[in-house]
Structure 1
Amino acid sequence: MGWRYRCRLIKLTTSGKMPYTLDCSWRTIMVSYIKKYTIFLLVFMINMDVLSAEELRGKVVNAETERVLPGVNVLIAGTLRGTSTDENGVFVLKSVPQGTDILLKIRHIGFDEVVVRVQANSQDIGTIQLQPSTIVLADEVVVIGERDNEAYLRTAMQSNPDGSGRMLRDIPGLHAVSRAAVAYDPVIRGLKASQLEVTIDGIKIVPACNGRMDPATAYVDLTEIDALAITKGAFRSSGQGSSVGGSIDFSKMKPTYHDELFTQVRLGASYRSVSNGKREFLRGEIAKGKFSLQLAGTHNRGDNYRSGAGEVDFSAFHDLHVDALLGVKLTDRQELRIAHYRSDGRDTGFPALPMDTREHTSRLYGVDYHVASSPVAGADLKFKLYRSDIDHTMDNFDRPAASMREMEVVGQTETTGGNFMAERHLGRGRITAGLDLWHLFATALRTMRVPSTNMQMSALMWPDVTIENAALFAEYRRILMDDLVLAAGTRLTRVNASAGKPADAFTQFHADVALDRSDLNGSGFLQLSYTPAIEWDVTFGVARGVRTPDHKELYSWYLPDQFDGFDYIGDPQLLPEKSVQFNLGVRRNSASVQFKFEPYLTLLQDYISGQVLEGMQPKSMGARGVKIYTNTGAAMISGVDFGLRWTVRPQWTLFSNASWARGQDMEYDVPLPEIPPLSTLSGVRYVHPSERVTVQAEARLVARQDRISPRAGEDATDGFAVYNLHATFRAGGYFVIQAGVENITDVFYHEHLDRANIAQPGRNFYLRVVQNF
């Protein structure tokens, strides 16, 4: 049957709810999908040229030293148009919309963001001063709006039109464990899960799935966030800290205020051929005077994706995100923000696991109150209250094993917290101090039923665990000399943990052990930054991080772990895990070259792993045995992060980044498990002189990982090379089309950190259209 005939038959027999069947070729689906949006494209492409014409100039300097700042990112709010300052701190922004006021967002690593209102038809806004941030860390704050100037992040965003967490793999020092087609668990320099502090707009996220099928990225659309703040290592003491390995905060929204009525709408759609995936999104803002309201929604779904060797079963998904943020500027110095973010997912497959997600929901609530230069000693005050409710249900009802034994696990986490922070200038320094509180309730019930006998058994895998956290923190930053800056921080944390309904078998297993516990943990960091020249920066830091074991490690009862195939039992007497980290950073940031070289060393004490319990029988189907969480004496992770962006000609840019890590279990003198292999992302980018057309070709190369831990059931992973091509067309900064091909050679491969060697997607053609009003 020919291609044309097959597509005609499919068109005649499809229903309105599902316009295409799985056996239709990608060409047919792409053509039909484009036809569906033909009117949409034509309407918004008409007369786009009249919206842009003139240039806008300005200069950016350090408010404290008055030195010019090269490499500062300047972005027109609500668009993808931006530029950066040259070595003299000067920027020239082309194709600026005329006839209307615009907002410029001025952002630079280590400085507070500034939003400037530019009057209509202005050509020069003079000098803009940036205040150094309260916290200067051995990390990076990557702002999504800067993707036109930060090559590695821009590439990651363009390579992920579906908004998934795969983009984390393309940022130096970061990796991700695939949990499903849309859920990726972050990894920073070989550390993951509870070793990291992951938040959404400062709201603590604790997965409700015992197998972490629902990490924070399952509840956020990464293509629509405003900023991504990354701390590599325990170099953050304020807020919720950074555990022993670092922190990531996904910033969804930030209000803007306007004297006159301001409205802005951003809508779009995307398509992925590899999974017949479709995604629509809408984001709007209305503001006037003291009020600002933002609303956003994303609908994302896909069928089983195809790898280089064929279809991957149980990989379909369906997600819906709805966000709302209200900002009220109470006075010139006071602001109130109220946020509500919700996410609903259903029928999400997990090919690496024996179970799938039937449904998962999250409800996030946040209230922020800011006071600038308060009467209390002239300090800036920040108050935050939040609530996170996450529910997760998974089962094996669609799997063949259900005919022998049906299994369902219902998990729930409730996190209530808040923090208070005060910031004040002290001469050439600035001090930040505050209090952080949160309360966690976690429970998970597993139910098993044998269909042939209708026999049913239930057990709490997390026995109504309660964890309470209270922390005092302080950070200080001081300019010792014009080219030398000191930053330091400390954090003291009290943690109380208890189990409300431990199983009798769990209590008997730990008969001589107190189930309740209380820890007092101290952490901190010290960093020096030296600027020998305007474009160069050298940073050295040392940090100590401490974390109390999480609810899973303390109180789990026969918790299946798909990494090594064992059932795990918690230990209430585990010692807190500790880290000492050394970080060196050498950076150059000029108009033509952005370069960074960051070697690091992490020493881990009382590293938490698993020890086999001989003679005990597992309860999960297919489990290899039973382990108990235990402390390993010491472990070490060393590595290097590298990044380069070089504008060799005005329209041509070369970029490359690489990450390498090596882990060692010092007690058993064997490799540490789950350490990502050497990986690099390199390519070339061309921008047309009009800045309307961009083409980017890239290659992601990953080395073979044969430094593995057989003791943990780990196996070696072959290296691979994946080639991608991306193109972007912009009309006046308001209409954007992105299209490209991922995995051009349709190579079959899998990532080392993923479970069960599940294959990654094969060749994928994607299309993404965005319209800004």
Structure 2
Amino acid sequence: MKLHPVALACLGMAASPTPVLAADTLPALSVTAKGYAADDMETPAATFALSRDDLQQRAAGNVGDALRGEPGLAVSGDSAQGQNPVIRGLKKESVVLLVDGIRVNAAQPAGAIASFMSLPLAESVEAVRGPASVLYGSGALGGAINVRLPDAHFAPGVGFDTALAWNSASRGLRATGVMNEAGADQALMLGASLSRIGDYDAPDGRVARTGYDSDSFIGQYRFRVDAANELRVSLQQHTDEDVWYPGSTKPHPHPLVQSTTVHSPRQERVLAEVGYRRKGSGETPVNVDLRAYRQEVKREIFSYADGPLARDIAETRVAFVTDGIDARADWLAHPLHLVSFGANAWRTSASPERLLPAPATNPANPLGRSDPFTNGRIEALGLYVQDDMRFGKLGVLGGLRHDTVEGEADSVGSPPVTQNLARRDGMWSGSLAAIYEVAPLLRPYANLSRGARAGEMRERFESSPRGDGFFYVGNPQIEPETATQIELGLKGATTRFDYRMAVYRTRIDDYITGLDISGTAEAVAICGPANATACKRTVNLGQVTLEGLEAEGRWQLVDGHWLSAGLSMVRGTNEDLDEPLFQMPADELDLGWEGRVAPEWTLDTTLRLVRRQDRVATVFARGSEDPTAGFATVDVGATWRRGKHSVRVAMRNLADKAYHEHLTEGVSGQEIPAPGRSLDVVYSGKF
């Protein structure tokens, strides 16, 4: 008897699709979409996954760069290191970022938290496009991105997985290694990745301040108590040094300063986790996974005077400390009926230490303490249940979640304000989706989902300059925003052809954003005279809508030769002002070919066509968002594989095209350009 995919998932086995995509290709599986390994063709949602081979082929140093060009995904960047993924037009706080299923919690005044996720060591990157709050709680309005690092595995003996990468644009070198040693009931994994990245070359010359150093270390020990019970301990550390954010450069009125640029001498993420897993047995097994963790994200955000003063005129040091507990269980109530339920609780606290010139009227004065807030904390508790059912060829997935999120600080600003700083919100999230297999190549699905997001620490408590060149003022009483999405899609796969497409409409109520009030009397009052010309106030808009289309497919034209295409279009509307929503990704079409030209050699090429983006906010942005020219880039590559070893040589941006993405942050008209032509060489091997 063939078990249904939900039964296989509960038993820790992968469900095989009908049929597999190709003779040497495994089914596309995702853990992030349902919380357990599930076949994409059985999932009524838009999912995406990159394997370790995919990541090494792209030679990406961070998550944003790895996802560039994928349908429904875009990148917002303020530097070479600061590349944040964008899902369906929603970015930063509206996308939940996870490493091995654990949230990466920290404010993002500059740079990208996604760049702290140890990508060079990753086994895979998975994404869910669209609200994913049922499993991941507050913040997953746009979706969730999960970087899955290697697990210690019980393969007897010692094994090594290594990779070396170099590129000519930045003369950057990256070395990665993972070791696994195991016996019958114990396994140990240790991994490290060291990167030394220089300033990269654009078509018009070298782009200053785009280099940085990055190191990652991971380790995990697993112990099988018996066939059903297992204990584990995991450690992760990621460090970046000497990171500059050229996109933050903005003019300054003082002649000694002239302009300022944000930089980070050092930033670090450290995670320690202990966990317990029980594998169920019998006709109605229950799988259990428990984990407790502490994660610290330490950041230094300094503002440097580029003029004759030539020193930092603002220094902020902060550690975001998160303690959390996750508990989840999967119960196979029936071979065609899998129920998941769980609880997530976490607490993040921070007390930034900020130094500013005292008095502030002269930036050459010595720096003195002026902390933005004291003892800020956000606590969250979420409870959820999800039901995965099968009725013949019809699959139904439903879920419900309740979150309680509370934010509070002892004081805000200088002179300190101590009143009206606490807010507690209860939020409901839910989803109901179905997929029906008419035929292997025709699987229509529908998905109705609701997500919610409470304000994060920066939006609540902090008043400070940000990476886009504006001074933002926090709002402790900011209300949660909610997103309701309807998505209709089609999926299908055979041995020679597979595709996915979706159309969606998302309505977000009480949308949280920064409203540009520069040059007004209110700006002088709340941002101060020095920042009044570039001032944003954190507000709730009444309503915004997002509508979009995504499509992707692969076709094996002849044996060993695949054609691929991907299309992404999104339209955002600020309903309050009846104008385009601020900073929406441009339309994009990607075309590719990959073919085996010899037993050990494959060649590939990708053409990326990005349309001019002239749907920009005018009233809301007050002239700070300009249209961006369209562009086209071509990448070509060759890969040699023999056994467990491979070498890839690729030329990115073959025509040395000068361009920048529309979502590149910076003073309008002065955004940093993308890298120019670059020769990439990557070696990977297993021993």
Q: Same fold (TM over 0.5)?
A: yes
* 2:105 is the alignment partner of 1:206: yes
* 2:596 is the alignment partner of 1:679: no
Cα distance per residue 1:233-258 (max 9 Å; x no partner) = 12451355762221111111123213
* 2:338 is the alignment partner of 1:430: yes
What does residue 324 of structure 2 align with?
417
Cα distance per residue 1:522-563 (max 9 Å; x no partner) = 110000111101333111000111111111111112x22343
* 2:663 is the alignment partner of 1:753: yes
Q: What is the CA–CA distance in structure 1 between the aligned matches of 2:21 and 2:489, rounded to whole Å?
A: 26
Cα distance per residue 1:646-674 (max 9 Å; x no partner) = 11000211111121100000011011011
1:446: Cα distance to partner?
Answer: 2.5
What does residue 256 of structure 1 align with?
153
Give the conservation status (yes or no) of the 8 Å contact 2:181–2:188: yes
The code of the aligned residue for 1:752 comes to H
Cα distance per residue 1:329-380 (max 9 Å; x no partner) = 2211112221111011111122112121101111111222111117998421
What does residue 668 of structure 1 align with?
577
SS in 1 for 2:66: helix
Task: Work out the percentage of aligned pairs sharing the same amino acid.
Answer: 22
Q: What is the CA–CA distance in structure 1 between the aligned matches of 2:291 and 2:530, rounded to whole Å?
A: 44
SS in 2 for 1:194: helix
With over 3 angstroms needed to count, the CA separation of the structure-2 counterparts of 1:740 and 1:625, relative to structure 1, is closer
Give the conservation status (yes or no) of the 8 Å contact 2:129–2:143: yes
SS in 1 for 2:134: coil
Spell out the pairing of 1:376-387 with structure 2 (5 A cutoff).
378-387=285-294
Give the conservation status (yes or no) of the 8 Å contact 1:86–1:591: no
Candidates 227, 242, 245, aligned match of 1:350 = 245
Q: What is the CA–CA distance in structure 1 between the aligned matches of 2:484 and 2:387, rounded to whole Å?
A: 20
With over 3 angstroms needed to count, the CA separation of the structure-2 counterparts of 1:335 and 1:178, relative to structure 1, is same
1:503: Cα distance to partner?
Answer: 2.8
Q: What is the CA–CA distance in structure 2 between the aligned matches of 1:506 and 1:631, rounded to whole Å?
A: 24
With over 3 angstroms needed to count, the CA separation of the structure-2 counterparts of 1:591 and 1:143, relative to structure 1, is same
The code of the aligned residue for 1:468 comes to E
What does residue 399 of structure 2 align with?
489
The code of the aligned residue for 2:29 comes to I
Spell out the pairing of 1:508-587 with structure 2 (5 A cutoff).
514-557=420-463, 559-563=464-468, 565-587=469-491
Larger radius of gyration: 1
Give the conservation status (yes or no) of the 8 Å contact 1:200–1:216: no
* 2:296 is the alignment partner of 1:389: yes
What does residue 4 of structure 1 align with?
none
Give the conservation status (yes or no) of the 8 Å contact 1:495–1:518: yes
SS in 2 for 1:352: strand
Cα distance per residue 1:363-417 (max 9 Å; x no partner) = 1112221111179984211111111101111324473374486221212211111
Spell out the pairing of 1:644-659 with structure 2 (5 A cutoff).
644-659=553-568
Q: What is the CA–CA distance in structure 2 between the aligned matches of 1:330 and 1:404, rounded to whole Å?
A: 57
What does residue 258 of structure 2 align with?
none
Give the conservation status (yes or no) of the 8 Å contact 2:139–2:452: no
Give the conservation status (yes or no) of the 8 Å contact 2:81–2:111: no
SS in 2 for 1:289: coil
With over 3 angstroms needed to count, the CA separation of the structure-2 counterparts of 1:241 and 1:518, relative to structure 1, is closer
Q: What is the CA–CA distance in structure 2 between the aligned matches of 1:632 and 1:86, rounded to whole Å?
A: 44
Give the conservation status (yes or no) of the 8 Å contact 1:111–1:133: no
With over 3 angstroms needed to count, the CA separation of the structure-2 counterparts of 1:166 and 1:620, relative to structure 1, is farther
What does residue 116 of structure 2 align with?
218
Q: What is the CA–CA distance in structure 2 between the aligned matches of 1:252 and 1:387, rounded to whole Å?
A: 17
Give the conservation status (yes or no) of the 8 Å contact 1:183–1:213: yes
Q: What is the CA–CA distance in structure 2 between the aligned matches of 1:211 and 1:89, rounded to whole Å?
A: 44
1:461: Cα distance to partner?
Answer: 2.5
Q: What is the CA–CA distance in structure 2 between the aligned matches of 1:634 and 1:382, rounded to whole Å?
A: 38
1:751: Cα distance to partner?
Answer: 0.6
What does residue 202 of structure 2 align with?
307
1:191: Cα distance to partner?
Answer: 0.7
SS in 1 for 2:371: strand
With over 3 angstroms needed to count, the CA separation of the structure-2 counterparts of 1:67 and 1:265, relative to structure 1, is closer
What does residue 381 of structure 2 align with?
470
Give the conservation status (yes or no) of the 8 Å contact 1:161–1:768: no
Q: What is the CA–CA distance in structure 2 between the aligned matches of 1:686 and 1:142, rounded to whole Å?
A: 21
1:419: Cα distance to partner?
Answer: 1.1
The code of the aligned residue for 1:220 comes to S
With over 3 angstroms needed to count, the CA separation of the structure-2 counterparts of 1:265 and 1:497, relative to structure 1, is same
What does residue 328 of structure 1 align with?
223
The code of the aligned residue for 1:590 comes to T
Spell out the pairing of 1:9-20 with structure 2 (5 A cutoff).
none
* 2:87 is the alignment partner of 1:188: yes
Give the conservation status (yes or no) of the 8 Å contact 1:134–1:431: no
1:704: Cα distance to partner?
Answer: 0.6
The code of the aligned residue for 1:610 comes to G
Spell out the pairing of 1:563-712 with structure 2 (5 A cutoff).
563=468, 565-611=469-515, 612=517, 614-617=521-524, 618=527, 624-688=533-597, 690=599, 692-710=600-618, 711-712=620-621
Give the conservation status (yes or no) of the 8 Å contact 1:644–1:655: yes
What does residue 363 of structure 1 align with?
270
Spell out the pairing of 1:246-325 with structure 2 (5 A cutoff).
246-258=143-155, 261-325=156-220
Give the conservation status (yes or no) of the 8 Å contact 1:272–1:766: yes
* 2:684 is the alignment partner of 1:770: yes
With over 3 angstroms needed to count, the CA separation of the structure-2 counterparts of 1:570 and 1:91, relative to structure 1, is closer
With over 3 angstroms needed to count, the CA separation of the structure-2 counterparts of 1:344 and 1:562, relative to structure 1, is closer
What does residue 126 of structure 2 align with?
229
Structure 1: runs of 5+ lacking an equivalent: 1-60, 75-83, 94-104, 114-129, 148-153
Cα distance per residue 1:443-462 (max 9 Å; x no partner) = 32321237985333332234
Q: What is the CA–CA distance in structure 1 between the aligned matches of 2:432 and 2:363, rounded to whole Å?
A: 63
Q: Which has the higher contact order (CA 8 A, sep 6+)?
A: 2
Give the conservation status (yes or no) of the 8 Å contact 1:437–1:469: yes
With over 3 angstroms needed to count, the CA separation of the structure-2 counterparts of 1:478 and 1:409, relative to structure 1, is same
The code of the aligned residue for 2:511 comes to Y
With over 3 angstroms needed to count, the CA separation of the structure-2 counterparts of 1:621 and 1:226, relative to structure 1, is farther
Cα distance per residue 1:567-613 (max 9 Å; x no partner) = 11111222110100011110111111111111111101011123326
Cα distance per residue 1:596-640 (max 9 Å; x no partner) = 111111101011123326344346977624332111111001111
Q: What is the CA–CA distance in structure 1 between the aligned matches of 2:565 and 2:40, rounded to whole Å?
A: 28
With over 3 angstroms needed to count, the CA separation of the structure-2 counterparts of 1:85 and 1:518, relative to structure 1, is closer
